[in-house]
Amino acid sequence: MFANYDHTRRPMTLYELNSLVRETLESSFPDTLWVQGELSEGRSGYGGHFYGELVEKDERTNAIVARARVNCWANRYRQLSQVFREATGETLRAGLTVMLEVAVTFHPQYGYSLNVVDIDPSYTLGDMARRRQQILRQLEADGILHDNQALALPMLVRRVAVVSSPTAAGYGDFCDQLIHNEYGFRFHIELFPATMQGNRVEESVTEALGRIAAEAELWDVAVIIRGGGATSDLSDFDSYPLAACVAQMPLPVITGIGHERDETVLDYVAHTHLKTPTAVAAFLIQHTADTAQHVDELGERLTRWVTERLAGERQRLARLSAVLPLSFRSMRERQERRLALIRQRLAAASRERAVREAHRIALTEERLRGLDPDLLLKRGYSMTLADGRLVRDASQVVLGQVIVTRLAHGEVTSVVSARQA
């Protein structure tokens, strides 16, 4: 067709060229066809029409290798978006992988585009599930998938660190339910603000969890709640960095991200996951009530044990009270007999000792009598005294010294005129 075009003829206008391209495409693609790709853009424009961009990326480099503009007119978009949302819980938005039935169109003014006439939600669901499973497999390969679940939930949970948007209705409901619980339990709640929808979810929630982990000794649990909001924002929590952060938290993490049907990767790695913020509050209250009941039961068991032990001790004392008088009398009789024997032995020992001592004294007296000077003098011996001292050696006196000789009867005084040693 173009090879036979006569270049000497009048040149085509751009409109004519685009119209020709349009005719060629419409004749080449008379029917619709299914195409898969990722929405890199997606928005609802004026009049309720949907405008987006479909791209294909290289699996190794993630670089875009093809792109095309997609449109879905208002009437059709309302039907398709409702079906898609009911099936997937998502709205058509950037980041989703989709399977679209399209008609290839070319507008002379706006160029090439794909006009969406149908969508297969099951393909998107499959892709979301595949992506979620891929993240879970990576967490398991890294050995951290069940780390947070392995932590023990404290018996008494009072200090609660909350990651949520400060303006979220779910956060208010959560606090109100904890504060005004029917048991009167007191909880200390502190908010660590974070963005809970949009592109900053991963960064913001991870940062808040990091601040909690830095002061983990101040908290019993960490809670991530997201009340309300679009269901489509759930995929923001299917993030490996965020899931890895939750898995490695030093505190048990409880999630209540506000969805009834699907679970995010975050729910799989958290210690405990519940559907809504109020469900998390109810869980904490019930856990505390169970602990209080357990403590009460332990108190009752302790009271019963003490009561039974006291009763047993009273019975033992009663038995001892009955037995002690008899035992005391028996012991007293034994001791009295023992004392009588001791007294007998002491009396016999005393008499024997007295005899021995009397004999020893008599012998001593006899020896002392044998040493009496008077007896010696009566036997013919004498004692010589010089200056009142007994003289035993001639060297003890000097010539001219007066000495006294004591006899059995009387004394003789003399003067030393000679001495012989």
What's the mean pLDDT in 377-394? 81
Predicted pLDDT of residue 229: 56
- The 10s digit of each residue's pLDDT in 312-354 is 888 888 888 887 777 778 888 888 888 888 889 888 888 888 8
In a domain, residue 358? The reply is no
- Which domain-ending residue is among 239, 267, 290? 290
The DSSP 8-state label assigned to residue 395 in this structure reads: G
Predicted pLDDT of residue 1: 47
Q: Which domain holds residue 38?
A: 14-119
Query: At 256, is the pLDDT very low, low, confident or very high (cuts 50, 70, 90)?
Result: very high
| Same domain assignment for residues 73 and 182 | no
The separation between CA 195 and the C-alpha centre of its own chain, rounded to angstroms, equals 28
- In this structure, which amino acid lies at residue 134? Q
In a domain, residue 316? The reply is no
Query: At 290, is the pLDDT very low, low, confident or very high (cuts 50, 70, 90)?
Result: very high
Predicted pLDDT of residue 137: 92
Predicted pLDDT of residue 262: 60
What's the mean pLDDT in 412-421? 83
What's the mean pLDDT in 97-123? 90
* CATH number of the structural domain spanning residue 26: 2.40.50.140
- The 10s digit of each residue's pLDDT in 362-376 is 888 777 776 667 766
The separation between CA 241 and the C-alpha centre of its own chain, rounded to angstroms, equals 24
| Same domain assignment for residues 48 and 90 | yes
Predicted pLDDT of residue 5: 55
Mean confidence (pLDDT) of the chain: 86
The encoded tokens of residue 330 equal 């028996």
Say how far apart CA 246 and CA 268 lie, in whole Å: 10
Asked whether the beta carbons of 96 and 121 are under 8 A apart, the reply is: no
- The 10s digit of each residue's pLDDT in 147-157 is 999 999 999 99
Say how far apart CA 330 and CA 322 lie, in whole Å: 14
In a domain, residue 306? The reply is no
In a domain, residue 48? The reply is yes
Predicted pLDDT of residue 24: 86
In a domain, residue 177? The reply is yes
Instruction: Give 376-394 as a DSSP string.
Output: HHHTT--EEEETTEE--SG
Q: Is the pTM of the predicted complex or chain greater than 0.85?
A: no
HSE-up of residue 41 (Cα within 13 Å, Cβ side): 12
| Same domain assignment for residues 273 and 411 | no
| Same domain assignment for residues 86 and 18 | yes
Q: Which of 25-39, 119-133, 323-337, 368-382 has the lowest mean pLDDT?
A: 368-382
- Which domain-ending residue is among 258, 290, 322? 290
- In this structure, which amino acid lies at residue 278? T
In a domain, residue 193? The reply is yes
Query: At 177, is the pLDDT very low, low, confident or very high (cuts 50, 70, 90)?
Result: very high
| Same domain assignment for residues 265 and 394 | no
Residues across the chain: 421
In a domain, residue 69? The reply is yes
What's the mean pLDDT in 196-219? 92
In a domain, residue 50? The reply is yes
- Which domain-ending residue is among 290, 325, 345? 290
Q: Per-residue pLDDT for 219 more than 60?
A: yes
CA angle 126, 203, 163 (to 5 degrees): 95
| Same domain assignment for residues 85 and 170 | no
Q: Return the closest-CA partner of residue 185 out of 177, 197, 173, 174.
A: 177
Question: Per the structure, how many domains does the chain have?
Answer: 3
DSSP E strands, 73-219:
97-107, 111-119, 159-164, 188-193
